[in-house]
Chains A and B, each alone.
Chain A
Amino acid sequence: MKSPFDDMKVLLVEDQGEARAMMRNMMMELGITQIFEASDGREALNFLDSAYDFIDIIVCDWNMPAMSGVEVLRQLRTVDAAMPFLMVTGRSDVESVVEAKSSGVTAYIRKPFSPKELEAKLRIMLYKLAA
């Protein structure tokens, strides 16, 4: 069966290796084949600089050393207001959610999450991408 995510190109930004690998695996299970990885915000922005066209959506961890997910998002939004951005977070306090929403996040997902939850969030990204 053809996956709805067949053609989706994802940039996965996560500083922790195991977490990154796990998310990559989950996405692969959902049928995503084009996954690019960055281990911090700086690397992610550099990647976008050189390979912007290779990326449809960004899945990014919030808590990262040196450059947080929100900072990556802010930088991205200065050049691209539309690229779907999924924020991955262990936080769920009101302040954090408000901050994420106001900086232009497309959706956010709370850790720990099930593959189904990730699928739902990615479908939202897909929907926004088509819009």
Chain B
Amino acid sequence: MIFGVHFFLDVLVAVLVCVGIYLMFKQRRRYRASVAVLEDASDTIGNGLICFDKKDRFVSANSQAREFLPELIEERGERFGQSKGPVLSAFLDYMYDHAVECDESLFNTLGRSAEKMKDAGFREVILAPGSRYCLVEARKTDAGGTYLILIDIGDLKNQEDRMLRLNEYNYELDQAIQATTSGVVVMKYQAEREIIVFANSAFCEIWGVERQGITGQDLEVVFSKIDDDEALEAIFKIRKERKTGTVELKHRDANNEEHWYELKMSPVKGFRGEVALFVGVFNDITELKMRQAELSKAQKLEALGQLSAGVAHDFNNVLSIIDGYSRLTSTAVGEDPKIREYQGRIQTATQRGANLIKQMLTFSRHEIVQDTVIDLGQAVQEQQAFLQPLVDASIKFKVLSDVEQMIVECSVDGLTQILMNLVVNARDAMPDGGTLLVESRACPSDTLPKALLDSKPEGGYACLLVSDTGTGMKQEIIDRIFDPFFTTKDQGKGTGLGLSMVYGLVKQIGGHIDIDSKIGRGTSIMIYLPLTDKALSRQVSGDLRDVDTIRFDGFTAMVAEDEPDLLLLVRGILEDLGMNVLTARDGHEALAVQDDYEGSIDLLLTDVVMPELGGVELADLMEDLRPEAGVIYMSGYPANGQNMRVDLPDDAVFIAKPIKHDDLIRLIYAKLNSGSHSGGVNVETPRWAVKKEILQEEISE
């Protein structure tokens, strides 16, 4: 019985097992069939799909998924799918390994494919074999399984890359156009209007508009600011004809400074070949314009200079004949006072003619100008005495000098010419009185005019300023002011050569002239002279009370003496005082030596009695040849010159032999300071004293 029960149970179990196995197989077949159906179905959805069961085991993959990741699915999916362990993690590891950088915005554009599914926290773009980009997203199903959705984003990714590249290019282009100093504007035709579609910062700066919000505005915003009718007309013409064109226009900036711009306009063609846009480029050509004007002025003046030099030469010939004969006449007719007077008038006239020619030659730079080195401030101060009488009492006349030394290469004669001309002009510009200021000052490089910035000498510049509060000048007059024979004065009142001579002198010195004039407000003329580090020429220094301190640096003396020992002695004394000494043993040699000497001779120290050509005759001839030289006679006769067999001129300066060192120095000191010659003498006055005087004058006013 028990056996029977056991047997029954065994059979039952066996049957049950068989049924179970059958059912299991059936189930499995059904399961497999359903998976196959599922896979077939999922093939149609377009995206790759890989499914895992709730134990994270691989279940299936559709054909798209297999196409993306054939090896992975075959190797890991199919193989690991048989095993018991989870393989989802292996899949995810693979995804992480092949993930690529991707823009966040790209994810968002893809959206969510199945909102019902829960996000499994995995979302990555991977680079699948064959360089295909693929978005992989993991989702959980309610049943606990997991799906990996694979979306082919190759096209999107490429598009994104193109966009990125385009963006980058655009950015660089924008940066470049913003960085250029040219103003760039792009405009578009829209309903008969021109709309700004792009403008760089230089453009906005030129026209004083905000860059923010400039896009979309009508171009009239800018063109309404152009005050140059001629240029506007040209611009409209170019726009109308839709061709490439260039326009030059004038515009005052926010600081009221006038600028010249060159506007280049070009049409830009659209897709269909029609003119869709216009691009305009503004370049600041102010400096170029100034240089051109400067150059053409220089050329004009150069031509005038050559012309006047030619005229001057011929005129000189004619004058020399008139002058020569008038002098000969005076000796021929003797003492007839009437003829003397007439002859004197002829000579005065020829002298005036000769002076005119000298001025013309100075302008045309054909006159030898001696290289002397002066302290501008001091030299200008010394000119005050000459200038003061030129100025009417109704004019307040001031001379100011910088305390600092300003050493420039310029002859005192030249400086006198410059100042006299400018002061006379300034005076004439103030018929009803005003203030005339002559000022010399050092010129910091940042205050230099543009024309000088390139040719800046190492030492910098000093500025000589002559300004008045007179009538001022129009631009047309300023433009022609340096032309020879150009004058605004009444007939006979001005030669028109004064300022052209000033121009010539300043150019010879290597300087530059600027004019600033306003109608009704006055005129300032600035003369910039290059500073030099050369030693001051010709300077009397020291105190007369202590002869040992006196020096005559840079002066040139000619000593004519037939006694060799005395000649050597005097030469030694003078050289010790810093003088340059020329020597001659008689009058004729002295003439020959001075003829060979190019520089100026400040002093003639001559023996009275010399063979052939005596001292008085020599001095007489030297007066014509070297009018700048002061004369001191040396003689063995008593100091008062009495009992001499030679007639000395009444005003002769005389030193007795044997020559006493101190007396000689005192005499030279007096002679060089007497101003009887036109040579520049810089007597050393304490500089503070000069400045103090001016200050006191200012305080008392």
Q: Is B588 an interface residue (CB 8 A)?
A: yes
Complex contacts, B331 vs chain A, CB 8 Å: 29, 115
Chain B residue at smallest Cβ distance from A16: B317
1/0 per residue, CB under 8 A from B, across A57-94: the answer is 00000010000000000000000000000000011111
**Other-chain contact of B320, A29, A63, A113, A121 (Cβ < 8 Å):** A113
Q: How far is the CA of A22 from the CA of B323 in the complex (A)?
A: 10
Q: Is B165 an interface residue (CB 8 A)?
A: no
Q: Which positions 326-368 of chain B face chain A at CB distance < 8 Å?
A: 327-328, 331, 350, 354, 361, 365-368
Complex contacts, A29 vs chain B, CB 8 Å: 328, 331
Most buried by A among B317, B354, B368: B317
Q: How far is the CA of A23 from the CA of B331 in the complex (A)?
A: 15
User: Is B592 within 8 A of A112, CB to CB?
Assistant: no
**Other-chain contact of A127, B322, B324, B588, B621 (Cβ < 8 Å):** B588
User: Is B324 within 8 A of A25, CB to CB?
Assistant: yes
Knowing A91-B313, A92-B361, A94-B368 are in contact, say whether A124-B328 is a contact too (CB < 8 A): no
Q: Is A2 an interface residue (CB 8 A)?
A: no
User: Is A22 within 8 A of B624, CB to CB?
Assistant: no
User: Is B591 within 8 A of A120, CB to CB?
Assistant: yes
Q: How far is the CA of A127 from the CA of B354 in the complex (A)?
A: 30
Knowing A63-B313, A92-B368, A127-B588 are in contact, say whether A120-B624 is a contact too (CB < 8 A): yes
Chain A residue at smallest Cβ distance from B612: A4
Complex contacts, B324 vs chain A, CB 8 Å: 22-23, 25-26, 112-113, 115
User: Is A117 within 8 A of B625, CB to CB?
Assistant: yes
User: Is B621 within 8 A of A90, CB to CB?
Assistant: no
Q: Is B589 an interface residue (CB 8 A)?
A: yes
Q: Is the interface of A mostly helix, strand, loop or mixed?
A: helix
Q: Is B285 an interface residue (CB 8 A)?
A: no
Knowing A26-B324, A111-B317, A114-B327 are in contact, say whether A127-B592 is a contact too (CB < 8 A): yes
Q: How far is the CA of A18 from the CA of B323 in the complex (A)?
A: 12
Q: Which positions 530-563 of chain B face chain A at CB distance < 8 Å?
A: none
Knowing A16-B317, A97-B368, A117-B625 are in contact, say whether A112-B350 is a contact too (CB < 8 A): yes
Complex contacts, A114 vs chain B, CB 8 Å: 323, 327, 624
Q: How far is the CA of A40 from the CA of B49 in the complex (A)?
A: 118
For residue A118, give the distance in angstroms from its CB to the closest CB of chain B: 9
For residue A3, give the distance in angstroms from its CB to the closest CB of chain B: 13
Chain A residue at smallest Cβ distance from B350: A112
Q: Which positions 275-320 of chain B face chain A at CB distance < 8 Å?
A: 312-314, 316-317, 319-320
User: Is B328 within 8 A of A22, CB to CB?
Assistant: yes
Complex contacts, A19 vs chain B, CB 8 Å: 317, 320-321
Q: Is B258 an interface residue (CB 8 A)?
A: no
Q: Is A35 an interface residue (CB 8 A)?
A: no
Q: Is the interface of B mostly helix, strand, loop or mixed?
A: helix
Q: How far is the CA of A46 from the CA of B388 in the complex (A)?
A: 60
For residue B295, give the distance in angstroms from its CB to the closest CB of chain A: 23
Q: How far is the CA of A65 from the CA of B229 in the complex (A)?
A: 56
User: Is A112 within 8 A of B367, CB to CB?
Assistant: no
Knowing A25-B328, A111-B320, A116-B624 are in contact, say whether A90-B313 is a contact too (CB < 8 A): yes
Q: How far is the CA of A130 from the CA of B592 in the complex (A)?
A: 12
Q: Is B67 an interface residue (CB 8 A)?
A: no
User: Is B313 within 8 A of A121, CB to CB?
Assistant: no
Complex contacts, B592 vs chain A, CB 8 Å: 107, 124, 127-128
Q: Is B325 an interface residue (CB 8 A)?
A: yes
Chain A residue at smallest Cβ distance from B309: A93
Complex contacts, B350 vs chain A, CB 8 Å: 112
Complex contacts, A123 vs chain B, CB 8 Å: 587-588, 591, 613, 621
User: Is B595 within 8 A of A112, CB to CB?
Assistant: no
Complex contacts, A128 vs chain B, CB 8 Å: 592
Q: Which positions 587-621 of chain B face chain A at CB distance < 8 Å?
A: 587-589, 591-592, 595, 612-613, 620-621
Knowing A107-B595, A127-B591 are in contact, say whether A26-B625 is a contact too (CB < 8 A): no
User: Is B316 within 8 A of A111, CB to CB?
Assistant: yes
Q: Place the interface of chain A in its size category.
A: 20 to 34
Chain A residue at smallest Cβ distance from B354: A112
User: Is A124 within 8 A of B591, CB to CB?
Assistant: yes
User: Is B320 within 8 A of A119, CB to CB?
Assistant: no
Q: How far is the CA of A4 from the CA of B613 in the complex (A)?
A: 9
**Other-chain contact of B328, A4, A91, A93, A115 (Cβ < 8 Å):** A115
Complex contacts, B328 vs chain A, CB 8 Å: 22, 25-26, 29, 115
Complex contacts, B321 vs chain A, CB 8 Å: 16, 18-19, 22
For residue A99, give the distance in angstroms from its CB to the closest CB of chain B: 13
**Other-chain contact of B323, A16, A63, A112, A121 (Cβ < 8 Å):** A112
Q: Is A126 an interface residue (CB 8 A)?
A: yes
Chain B residue at smallest Cβ distance from A108: B595
Q: How far is the CA of A18 from the CA of B613 in the complex (A)?
A: 31
User: Is B613 within 8 A of A112, CB to CB?
Assistant: no
Q: How far is the CA of A112 from the CA of B328 in the complex (A)?
A: 14
User: Is B624 within 8 A of A124, CB to CB?
Assistant: no
For residue A41, give the distance in angstroms from its CB to the closest CB of chain B: 17
Complex contacts, A112 vs chain B, CB 8 Å: 316, 319-320, 322-324, 350, 354
For residue A96, give the distance in angstroms from its CB to the closest CB of chain B: 8
Q: How far is the CA of A97 from the CA of B597 in the complex (A)?
A: 12
User: Is B367 within 8 A of A93, CB to CB?
Assistant: yes
Complex contacts, A124 vs chain B, CB 8 Å: 588, 591-592, 595
User: Is A119 within 8 A of B621, CB to CB?
Assistant: yes
User: Is B366 within 8 A of A92, CB to CB?
Assistant: yes
User: Is B595 within 8 A of A22, CB to CB?
Assistant: no
User: Is B367 within 8 A of A92, CB to CB?
Assistant: yes
Q: How far is the CA of A23 from the CA of B313 in the complex (A)?
A: 18
Complex contacts, B620 vs chain A, CB 8 Å: 116
Knowing A25-B328, A29-B331, A123-B588 are in contact, say whether A90-B317 is a contact too (CB < 8 A): yes
1/0 per residue, CB under 8 A from A, across B669-680: the answer is 000000000000
For residue B545, give the distance in angstroms from its CB to the closest CB of chain A: 40
User: Is A93 within 8 A of B316, CB to CB?
Assistant: no
User: Is B624 within 8 A of A111, CB to CB?
Assistant: no
Q: How far is the CA of A115 from the CA of B323 in the complex (A)?
A: 10
User: Is A93 within 8 A of B595, CB to CB?
Assistant: no
Q: How far is the CA of A16 from the CA of B622 in the complex (A)?
A: 29
Q: Which positions 410-439 of chain B face chain A at CB distance < 8 Å?
A: none
Q: How far is the CA of A124 from the CA of B319 in the complex (A)?
A: 25
Complex contacts, A16 vs chain B, CB 8 Å: 317, 321
Complex contacts, A107 vs chain B, CB 8 Å: 592, 595
1/0 per residue, CB under 8 A from A, across B616-660: the answer is 000011111100000000000000000000000000000000000
**Other-chain contact of A22, B314, B325, B365, B366 (Cβ < 8 Å):** B325
Q: How far is the CA of A128 from the CA of B365 in the complex (A)?
A: 32
For residue B582, give the distance in angstroms from its CB to the closest CB of chain A: 14
Most buried by B among A22, A26, A123: A123
Given A25-B324, A112-B354, 14 extra CB contacts under 8 A: A4-B613, A25-B325, A107-B592, A111-B320, A112-B316, A112-B350, A113-B320, A116-B623, A117-B624, A117-B625, A120-B624, A123-B621, A127-B588, A127-B589
12 contacting pairs across A/B (C-beta < 8 A): A19-B317, A22-B328, A26-B327, A29-B331, A90-B316, A93-B365, A112-B319, A112-B322, A114-B327, A120-B591, A120-B622, A127-B589
Closest 5 CB pairs of A and B: A112-B320, A127-B588, A111-B320, A90-B316, A120-B621
